[in-house]
Amino acid sequence: SVCLFAFQVLVNIGNHFDLASSIFVAPRKGIYSFSFHVVKVYNRQTIQVSLMQNGYPVISAFAGDQDVTREAASNGVLLHMEREDKVHLKLERGNLMGGWKYSTFSGFLVFPL
């Protein structure tokens, strides 16, 4: 199962990423890899984006340099997931350039358990 989200779904083998809710649902127990990249708007604010697993933050990325007009934040993680576990991105603070239009989110099964 692979998904890559950039305002539209580019690859979604198995259809385990729901575009309407922007949630990835694990089709089986295993180790999954997730990564994301987001771009903040042109202003002097800080953004924080968290990758959420079943409603709890697992990792976050921050961007908040006061002297940069364009700034991005990225992060990635390997997660142990049970079947039906859910993963999504949450904007904790700040505003993203074009909403989620210039952001990417990808996830895939690395090793089934």
pLDDT digits (tens, 9 = 90+) for 94-111: 888 777 778 889 999 999
pTM of this structure: 0.87
Q: Could you give the CA distance from residue 88 to residue 52 in angstroms, rounded to a whole number?
A: 5
CA 27, distance to chain mean position in Å, is 18
Q: Could you give the CA distance from residue 110 to residue 40 in angstroms, rounded to a whole number?
A: 30
For residue 95, give the amino acid letter.
Answer: N
Q: What fold is seen in the domain 17-112?
A: Jelly Rolls (2.60.120)
Residue spans per domain, the chain: 17-112
pLDDT digits (tens, 9 = 90+) for 12-44: 899 999 888 889 999 999 999 999 998 887 777
